[in-house]
Amino acid sequence: MTIEEEIAKIAAYKTWPVRKKVDALLKIDATMYTNLGTESSDKERRKVKVMSKKIYKIIMSISSIDGFMLRAHMDETVIILDE
């Protein structure tokens, strides 16, 4: 099963709560980044970043606030929260 298929499968679960879906998707994201090493090519690094953006987009469709925060961090967007 490819990563894309696994991501789609998790997103499609009807019985999983939102938190469990988000956690599973973030686990996939973390695993992709931890599998990168010092010998990883730029192409491999770009592929992981593209896949990560897809994961964050799916998270945004599941939980808008979590997805927004993740994408903002990836895009280095400044977020100002009122205290």
pLDDT given at position 81: 60
Domain residue spans of the chain: 3-74
- pTM for the complete prediction? 0.81
pLDDT given at position 68: 80
pLDDT given at position 70: 81
The string of pLDDT tens digits covering residues 12-52 is: 999 999 999 999 999 999 999 999 988 999 999 999 989 99
Where b means 16+ CB within 10 Å and e means fewer, 38-75 reads eeeeeeeeeebeebbebbbebbbebbeebbebbbeeee
pLDDT given at position 7: 94
pLDDT given at position 16: 95
